[in-house]
Amino acid sequence: MTSTFGSAASRQVIIELTTAGYEAVFVGGAVRDAELGKKPLDIDIATSATPHQVKEVFRHTIDIGIEHGTILVLMHGEPIEVTTYRTESTYSDQCHPEIYVNSLKEDLQRRDFTINALAMTVDGELIDLFNGLKDLKQKIIRSVGNPEERFREDPLRIFRALRFSSVLDFEIESETLHSMKNLAPSLRHVAIERIKTEMDKLFLGKNPSRAFHYGRQIGLPELFPELLAAFDTLDRYTPFLHARHGFAAMLAVTDTDAANLSRQFKLSNEEKRFLKQFEEAFALRVHHVLGPWEFYSYSTDVLEVVEKVYHVNHEQNELTTKQIEQYKEQLPIRSRTDLAFTGNDLLKWSDKSGGKWTSDWIKKIERAIVFGRIENDAQAIKDWFINEITREK
Ligand code: ATP
Ligand code: MG
């Protein structure tokens, strides 16, 4: 590694902290990713300064996670997270106060895996107190210290190990895996939001199959039959998994429904909407190939996943994204706002007053237009409509 680690702003933060007499280093995922030759997403800095002292050193700070010892420093407009050295404390038990410590060693010791316990000085010197670099090179996920104790302190780490095995495509060291299996039942007490965050990353990883394999080995399907039975079959879907797609695939392989899954995993509104749409469109796809109505009613994004999930179990070729878009382009209209008539026109043409019948007829005409049975032209619609209602009388 060279001294060019981190952004100029993050280096400046370290320099100012050290000038003020404190220790400060880069830590965590960013150091790991840099060693792997990947561009780190978020940069974390650990320091011997207390949050109060950090705030004294910098003019612009925000207390984002002060209860965990984290202060956001705004350096040249760039937000940099600075966290005070601390020991293991409250990952799982939010009731206890944070315990700040003076040594970097203690801070690194409370981190989950050796590959996440690396630190780097502003000069680019790696601080590797737990053989993290060796594990990184050998592609191994290993707990820092006694795995049993570490998973007991925070069972979420069991899921984090699975997540890293997928994201990095790493092996889980045998003693670590063994303890994961012993303590897997304690995952039941972990807030689902925390698990969900890890699941999203797991789905997006390099090798989700690997994580599902470990998940089965440690007994997750038995522990969470309603949530994770999917671990048994999901790896057939891994070539195309995507955070949201993972949940869509789960829907297709379990008995649960979208509303249930959304509730259980506390999905966001956007994710919920996607899953609901997927569920509807998938149910239609099971009955017949996608037709004009489906191309009209569902977004490319939804249809794409429907096709992929459906074709995992069926031989024919699935539609590509491009083909889905081409079908959509051929539709006479793209949405209801394109219709060449309104509900008011129906009232005028029929000489009747409004009511539920209007929306029923709008739907009927919309459908007829989408299927190409009527042209999307006011006169054509009027003729068709008058003809139909006269026939109905
Ligand atoms: P990502 O690239 O997804 O951000 P990351 O390793 O940075 O991965 P974060 O969740 O951002 O993961 O956590 C930052 C660091 O904090 C980790 O690298 C690890 O050192 C430590 N950490 C996070 N969660 C835990 C935990 N539950 N137990 C112990 N250490 C943790
Ligand atoms: Mg991170």
Reduced to 3 states, what is the DSSP secondary structure of residue 45? strand
Say whether 142 sits in a helix, a strand or coil: coil
Are the CB atoms for 126 and 118 separated by under 8 Å?
A: yes
Q: Read off the pLDDT of residues 276-305 as tens digits, 9 standing for 90 and up.
A: 999 999 999 989 989 999 999 999 999 988
Ligand nearest to C-alpha 201: 1
pLDDT digits 0-9 by tens, 219-259: 987 887 655 556 656 666 665 556 567 788 778 777 789 99
Query: What are the angstrom distances between the C-alpha of 372 and each of 293, 325, 381?
Result: 11, 18, 12
Which of 172, 168, 176, 207 minimizes the C-alpha distance to 35?
A: 168
What is the Rg, in whole angstroms, of the alpha carbon atoms belonging to the chain?
A: 28
Cβ–Cβ under 8 Å, residues 35 and 136: yes
Ligand 1 centroid to residue 292 C-alpha, Å: 46
Q: Is the dihedral of CA 177, 182, 185, 189 positive or negative?
A: negative
Ligand 2 center–CA 28 separation, angstroms? 7
Per-chain mean pLDDT for the chain: 89
Closest listed ligand to the CA of 29: 1
Mutate to test the pocket of ligand 1, among 116, 135, 187 (most ligand atoms within 8 A of CB): 116
Alpha-carbon distance 242 to 134, whole Å? 30
Token pair recorded at residue 335:
């949405």
Do you know the residue count of the chain? 393
Residue 364 has pLDDT above 50, yes or no: yes
CA distance 250 to 25: 41
By three-state DSSP, how is residue 65 classified? strand
